[in-house]
Amino acid sequence: AVQTDFSPEKIINLHRDWTIEPSKVILLDVSPEEALERKSESGDKFEKVNFLSEVRSVYRTMFSDQEGVHCVNAEAPKQEVLNEVKKIITDL
């Protein structure tokens, strides 16, 4: 497995001094394989399945049980994703 520098604590600390607490978070979730399928080929480490799998896992763990967090299946057709995001934004 690829080891990353990403952890929930590191991400929170990185943003702590300049980010306001959001009332809603929308996490557009897509598998690493699908993400790579959509992106043109690149040789850097951010485009590797194992690395993307780890990053995805950190974000899913970080946000899975938090209030105000909405995970959207971004592998759905674009219009469905857009409709779901619009609904989340407009539902107060």
pTM, rounded to two decimals: 0.70
**Residue whose C-alpha is closest to residue 14's, from 23, 25, 22, 5:** 5
pLDDT tens digits, one per residue of 57-85: 888 888 777 888 899 999 999 999 999 99
Q: Are 58 and 6 in contact (CB under 8 A)?
A: yes
Q: What is the DSSP letter of 16?
A: T
Res. 46: pLDDT tops 60: no
